[in-house]
Amino acid sequence: MVSETKQKLTIGVLALQGAFLEHIHMLNNLDLVEEAIPVRTLEQLNAVDALIIPGGESTAMALIAERCQLLEPLREFVRRKPTWGTCAGMILLADEATSTKKGGQQLLGGLEIAVNRNQFGTQKDSFDTLLHMPELVGDDPFRAVFIRAPVITAILSDSVKVVARLEQAVGQTEAETIVAVRQGHLFATAFHPELTHDDRLHKYFVNVALQHLS
């Protein structure tokens, strides 16, 4: 349990698979972060104030979490505690997903959105694009890197706020498609902010977390 006056956070990055090191490096350079640690065990999960679920492969991450008996603890965690899902992490946080693996795949859920996996095609269809998110990062656009990325196809609750949309069509995907949302203590981006040198979204998440400590 953290005190209400806590000013610096311990942030975990789920480290079962995927791009977790880049998030840890970025977080460890922020003033409001006491420490960023990889999370692979229940003890580590219990020790953090907030969590990032990184990009990678959502099917693999869910399978490993299940084998490590972390699936239920993670579901509990995201119900109450500040969590940011990037790319595969966004898929795991979603209540519903399409284009899932044959036979289905486990989600954590909690974020009332529907997502479509691999919206833009395969690895070779990766791209980056500028997004304006003035409420999150100020007036300068953010260079968003999309790698086999999902998109948000439906908002399932009034408490979900859309915070970023594609500004141009990309292949078959229309302009205005939703690529980032916030719902209270939960935040999700379809892209990979940790793969740039721009830490503005990490700072934003730390502030979200500070406002939603439990």
* Positions marked active-site: 87, 192, 194
Least CB distance to ligand GLN at residue 98 (A): 11
Contact between 117 and ligand GLN by CB under 6 A: the answer reads: yes
Contact between 118 and ligand GLN by CB under 6 A: the answer reads: yes
Alpha-carbon separation of residue 24 from 111, 116, 187 (angstroms):
23, 27, 17
Least CB distance to ligand GLN at residue 44 (A): 21
Binding-residue pattern over the window 73 to 92 for ligand GLN, x denoting contact by CB under 6 A: --------------xx--x-
Helix (H, G, I), strand (E, B) or coil at 99: coil
Least CB distance to ligand GLN at residue 167 (A): 20
Residue 40 and residue 3 in contact, taking contact as beta carbons nearer than 8 Å:
no
Binding-residue pattern over the window 135 to 154 for ligand GLN, x denoting contact by CB under 6 A: ------------xx------
Strands (E), 166-203: 178-183, 186-189
Q: Residue 147: which of 204, 86, 203 has the closest Cα?
A: 86
Residue 180 and residue 53 in contact, taking contact as beta carbons nearer than 8 Å:
no
- Choose which of 35, 57, 96, 128 interacts with ligand GLN (CB under 6 A): 57
Contact between 125 and ligand GLN by CB under 6 A: the answer reads: no
Q: Residue 111, Cβ neighbours under 10 Å: how many?
A: 28
- List interacting residues with ligand GLN (CB under 6 A): 55-58, 87-88, 91, 117-118, 147-148
